[in-house]
A and B are shown apart, each in its own frame.
Chain A
Amino acid sequence: MNLFAIITEALRALHQNRLRTGLTMLGMIIGVAAVVLMLSIGQGARTKINETIAAMGSNLFIVVPGATSSGGFSFGSGTVKTLTINDAYAIAELPSISAASPVTTGNVQLNYAAKNWSTLILGTTPDYFEVGNWKMESGTTFTESDLRSAARVVVLGSVTAKNLFGDEDPVGKTIRITNRPFLVTGVLMAKGQSLTGRDQDDNVFIPITTSERQITGNQFPGSIRYMLVQGKSAEDMDIAEIEITQLLRQRHRIAKSKENDFTVRNLTAIADVATGAAKVMSIVLGAIASVSLLVGGIGIMNIMLVSVTERTREIGIRMAIGANQRAILTQFLLEAMMICIMGGLIGLLLGIGGAWLVSQVTDMLIVITLGMVGLAFLFASAVGIFFGFYPAKKAASLKPVDALRYE
């Protein structure tokens, strides 16, 4: 009997028992849909985290004032004023460090024409954009000479630019920051959320000198909120961390027995933790989905076993008219596989549809790869073969006379 004929026989049998076929298929559909959905959510989370990390810049340290808090990563309480602009400049000179950018922060009111917008203002150095891996949407950053002269120039985050200017090009326009006119030199490209979930695009950047003297004011001259430090190479991050720590302890004249009055955080390490967490999450999601696939597979085995018993007489008749064991085995195996493959296809479509729905309803990123689709499909077929084989084998190894005598 050729394969085509066997396939036709299998299809006929499935068609004859539509209800049973459908119910069995349901297990497969749910399993595969769950696998696709879970994998796409997991993959989406990983992709998002990787994008964020790539946008963050490489070999980064963030140095904040204040001792290490037990609460883990934070941007400092904001009341400790132990880090200064000059600390940053000194760190930039270290052999393992390529750049260090001091940052002050504050909240300000912006005006352009009739629009106003309140946002976060960061005072920093031109290096900041390089170190933080910021790309320009239009215009340029402010310059070293702007920094020296404390010029009234500003670089806008993309969200801020959109809110103040709409579709107008902000470059070369003048906005007012707490009522002082500032020239817009450039607009940054959007970065999205940070690892901690903060919107990184709703802010403006001005030279730190301008910020100190004209905007935030400063009761502690030269003190900063944090600094962004870039190491020269990924391998020497440990050395760089030691150098930063030693230099700052020395500059702050901290006695040997005393704690640091600052905290150095390696952002790469944080990124690794986040990547690891995302990976674990997608594995867990995948495992949960696999269980439902497994349950679907066992359902198929159940049904096939019932079907073999119910059709014992049919098997006997087929043997009596010349079916060999392989023909019977193939027929039952194909029936199981067809349930799986058809269920798999429907599940695949449902899973993709579900993933699309999730991406519409929530702001989660959903990624569906061809590999994922292939995996779900392969898995479905494997389940079909695995759970179909035993009943099929059982059917094929019956003795014709016993099968025929079965009531």
Chain B
Amino acid sequence: MSLMTNYSASPLIRIENLCKSYSLQDANGKTITNQILFNLNLTIYQGEFVAIMGHSGSGKSTLMNILGCLDTPTSGSYWLGEKNVAALSNDELAHIRNQSIGFVFQGFNLLKRMTALDNVATPLLYAGVSRSNSRRQALELLRRTGLENFAMHQPNQLSGGQQQRVAISRALVNRPPLILADEPTGNLDTQTSREIMLLFAQLNCEQGITIVLVTHENDIAAYAKRLIRLKDGHIIVDENNTAGVVSDEIA
């Protein structure tokens, strides 16, 4: 853990004793509590590229949803930058999701029957940017992710890789300091996965965007600079990623 003190940047994410459990009703109507995350402590600094690994059901998505302000922890604290997330109102959480976090999903989660351009522009609309300005900025992002010619296509007219690029553009459009990606390459073939991972690596290197990414594939995790392993809701490994390939490829 002492490795992290090497970073001169300030902490972006800080969780302390974070627990998450779900209450379920069993067949007899009795409430049973199912704890998923156990006393997690984790600090992620600005500019880091972190991969979270672990078996299916180990609580990776649950953690990501809490980090993305889509879900709330049962106990423990979560600081995002200067903000104590637990103390925020619904509106403030919406504002954080809009401005500070870009979420990328395994299943892309683009809005159906809406062009790629409008999909990318929507977070700007929620930020109060005018329609024409938001479209202009969205187009600029699509240009950078190489999708300029697909701006007017709807999600079902795009390949998986293209859809994920649109989703990444959407995550980036409000220039958030943090990108959270839950198995972003899970639905993509190897070649496309590589392209997407290069895009993440590039964003991390060139723009200093902090990236936290969930995967269960080693060669995907290899793009990250830091590796965290979850097992049954506990962090069992947190280390620098020595097997990194990123620097070679970017250089």
Contacts and interface: CB of A to CB of B under 8 A. Distances in A.
Interface stretch (A106-114, A150-158, A317-325, A372-380): A317-325
A404 interface: yes
A323 to B, nearest CB: 5
B113 A325 contact: no
A321 B70 contact: no
A374 B65 CA distance: 49
A392 B57 CA distance: 33
Interface stretch (A4-12, A134-142, A266-274): A4-12
B68 A320 contact: yes
Contact of A319 (B97, B105, B112, B174): B97
Contacts of B130: 2
Interface residues of A, number: 26
8 contacts: A1-B128, A5-B125, A318-B111, A318-B122, A320-B103, A322-B123, A323-B98, A401-B71
A400 B105 CA distance: 14
Interface in A288-334: 313-314, 316-327
Contacts of B103: 320-321
B125 A12 contact: no
Contacts of B152: none
B90 interface: yes
Contact of B126 (A8, A16, A323): A323
Nearest to A404: B70
Contacts of B113: 16
Contacts of B125: 1, 5, 9
Task: Tell which of B71, B94, B109 has the most Cβ of chain A within 10 Å.
Answer: B94
Interface string B86-98: 0000110011011
A321 B123 contact: yes
A313 B108 CA distance: 12
A323 B109 CA distance: 15
A180 interface: no
A326 B105 CA distance: 24
What secondary structure prevails in chain A residues at the interface with B? Answer: helix
B131 interface: yes
Task: Tell which of B68, B95, B109 has the most Cβ of chain A within 10 Å.
Answer: B109
Interface of B: 65, 68-71, 90-91, 94-95, 97-99, 103, 105, 109-114, 122-123, 125-128, 130-131, 170, 174
A400 B103 CA distance: 12
Contacts of A324: 90-91, 94-95, 126
B70 A320 contact: yes
A399 interface: yes
> Nearest 5 pairs between A and B by C-beta?
A322-B98, A324-B94, A401-B71, A322-B126, A400-B70
Interface of A: 1-2, 4-5, 8-9, 12, 16, 313-314, 316-327, 399-401, 404
A325 B89 CA distance: 11
A327 B70 contact: no
A325 B94 contact: yes
A399 B97 CA distance: 13
A317 B109 contact: yes
A138 to B, nearest CB: 69
B152 to A, nearest CB: 15
Contacts of B105: 404
A316 B114 CA distance: 16
Given A322-B98, A400-B70, A401-B70, A317 B111 contact: yes
Nearest to A313: B109
A37 to B, nearest CB: 37
Given A1-B125, A5-B131, A399-B71, A319 B114 contact: no
Contacts of B174: 322
Nearest to B109: A317
Contacts of A5: 125, 131
Contacts of B170: 321
